[in-house]
Structure 1
Amino acid sequence: MPIKQPIKRNQLRIYLGTKYYRLKRYWEWYTDGKRYAKQKETAKLKHVIFTHKTVLLRQLKDVDMWLQHNKVKNLTIAAKSLNGILLKPGETFSYWKLLGNTSKSKGYVDGMILHYGKVTTGTGGGLCQLSNLIYWMTLHTPLLVTERYRHSFDVFPDSKRSQPFGSGATCAYNYLDLQIKNDTNATYQLVIYLTDTHLVGEWRADVPPTRTYEVYEKEHSMTQEYWGGYARHNKIHRKVYNLNQELIDDEYITENNAIMMYEPFLPDGNS
């Protein structure tokens, strides 16, 4: 799929657009008829459905490490807001409805934000690591992702990447939300915490799992666009297995198309 050349928008248009989409989201939260998850439970539900962890501090090209350390502070605050949230049958998990705005009054500090493919800073920056983690875990459960936004830019080359390109979920308060609906008969619980080295997440449930999932990519490619830049493409699928590890389904999840902010086919060590 060809990707159009990015349009440079002036700051006034960006400001007004942000205000509009934030107001639109506030209106939707109160009028869309969804039952949003809000109850927290300290005691953990019995059954672990899926768990995953990601490294907190990574050396990224041209990114100061103080931004990484500030990210950890922001993740610590956000994790406390989400840890223990119950997602009951029929309810919808909304990332931003639960977190609220990432203001300094809540203790959030400046962290790394990716804005139109460039690294910048902003209060609460770095929380995409949390939305990425939740999205990836959810793909390994029967829960239904009803709203997710892909990254429009692929900013950093693969460096120790253990997940397929495009398997995350970008976030921006509050209009780029991650929403997950529980269409099952079980109650699920999100557990989020930090260790000294990792951000850790779990989806738990009050009943044991009956399926396991393998998420993978298909049709991965890098193309040069008509305007001179490069783009990256793939499709995310998942294989579904029963408890006997027999394949019972192979599901299409999503398609990703992102503008690359680095030269493709870099040799090893240029990350």
Structure 2
Amino acid sequence: MSYVEKKPITRSKLRLFLGENYYKTKKYFYWFFSNNTYSKNINNNTLNHLIFTHKTPLYRKLKDVDMYLQENKVQNLKLALKKINGIIISPGEYFSYWKLIGKPSYKKGYKDGVILCPDGSFKPGVGGGLCQLSNLIYWMTLHTPLTVTERYRHSHDVFPDVKRTQPFGSGATCYYNYLDLEIKNTTKTTYQLILYLTDSHLIGEWRAVEPCNYTYEVYEKEHSMTPGFFGRYIRNNIIYRKVFNLNKELINDEFICENHAFMMYQPYLN
């Protein structure tokens, strides 16, 4: 694993504004002019075959984060789920997280949740907390034959692990609209994304019209926390995926991604 640490850059508000609008415009052009066919068909009837399911807790005790922001996050998730729950992805189609959800705004009913900033800090912001949804979808997709074509993660590791069940770096951050999560159905089978909330968890399912002939195991290699050149520790790992056939025989061991993030807390906390 080779990684060259880059010195953190402090940009002016004008530079950040211009850069953000440039990338947003670029994404709009990509949606409009690309040859991709994006999924938009919502079906309230669930497909027969469950391929993978996962759930994540709605509430966590996070240092310096007021609980009202997590209550607001739940409201934001409810609004986002109305746009994507039941979405059908036919063979050859693309799923775009932001193209389906649209831009969060107060007018649409979104509230202030936790927004992570480029420098690793966090603040209240409209639509905050929707990363939990994109994280869940990405993690579930790694356990299917669907192909992730666009995914991002934060450059900073903000909170210490608390009862972590997934490897570091196995999520997908989101920020409207250019930090998107896109998935292509490269199979010959129609898939459906089911999402819902309980009092305590966000739950997701990938379903299909036919059963899947494979199962998957996602794991990490070379996890480390190393001192950086600019006064911060860096967390590192590589994510791989084992693929098994119906006889539970290993048929592939695939590289998924390599992760590096500045740590915003003291390393090696208990």
Equivalence for 1:242? 245
C-alpha RMSD over aligned residues: 0.7
Residues in 2 aligned to 1:226 and 1:151: alpha-carbon distance in whole angstroms? 19
Residues in 2 aligned to 1:37 and 1:217: alpha-carbon distance in whole angstroms? 31
1:233 and 2:248 aligned: no
Among 43, 46, 49, the residue aligned to 1:47: 49
Residues in 2 aligned to 1:190 and 1:114: alpha-carbon distance in whole angstroms? 26
Equivalence for 1:91? 93
Among 237, 250, 265, the residue aligned to 1:262: 265
CA drift of 1:228 comes to 1.7
Equivalence for 2:113? 111
Q: TM-score scaled by structure 1?
A: 0.97
Q: TM-score scaled by structure 2?
A: 0.98
The letter for the 2-side match of 1:72 is: V
Residues in 2 aligned to 1:73 and 1:118: alpha-carbon distance in whole angstroms? 23
SS at match of 1:250: strand
SS at match of 2:107: helix
Residues in 2 aligned to 1:2 and 1:242: alpha-carbon distance in whole angstroms? 38
Residues in 2 aligned to 1:91 and 1:193: alpha-carbon distance in whole angstroms? 23
Equivalence for 2:22? 20
CA contact (8 A) 1:2 1:225 kept: no
SS at match of 2:41: coil
1:128 and 2:131 aligned: yes
The letter for the 1-side match of 2:205 is: E
1:72 and 2:80 aligned: no
SS at match of 1:130: helix
CA contact (8 A) 1:3 1:257 kept: no
The letter for the 2-side match of 1:166 is: G
Residues in 2 aligned to 1:72 and 1:3: alpha-carbon distance in whole angstroms? 36
Residues in 1 aligned to 2:143 and 2:97: alpha-carbon distance in whole angstroms? 18
CA contact (8 A) 1:84 1:192 kept: yes
Task: Structure 1: give runs of 5+ residues left out of the alignment.
Answer: none
1:184 and 2:182 aligned: no
CA drift of 1:2 comes to 3.2
Q: Deviations over 1:73-132 (max 9, x none)?
A: 000110111100000000000000000000112110111011121111111000000000
Residues in 2 aligned to 1:70 and 1:170: alpha-carbon distance in whole angstroms? 18
Residues in 1 aligned to 2:225 and 2:73: alpha-carbon distance in whole angstroms? 30
SS at match of 2:137: helix
The letter for the 1-side match of 2:14 is: L
Residues in 1 aligned to 2:46 and 2:176: alpha-carbon distance in whole angstroms? 28
The letter for the 1-side match of 2:262 is: I
The letter for the 2-side match of 1:211 is: Y
Among 177, 198, 202, the residue aligned to 1:199: 202
CA drift of 1:161 comes to 0.6
The letter for the 2-side match of 1:149 is: Y
CA contact (8 A) 1:57 1:197 kept: yes
CA contact (8 A) 1:3 1:259 kept: no
How many residues align? The count is 267
CA drift of 1:51 comes to 0.3
CA drift of 1:5 comes to 2.6
Residues in 2 aligned to 1:28 and 1:231: alpha-carbon distance in whole angstroms? 33
CA contact (8 A) 1:94 1:178 kept: yes
The letter for the 2-side match of 1:142 is: P
Among 209, 212, 225, the residue aligned to 1:222: 225
The letter for the 1-side match of 2:127 is: G
Equivalence for 2:147? 144
SS at match of 1:162: coil
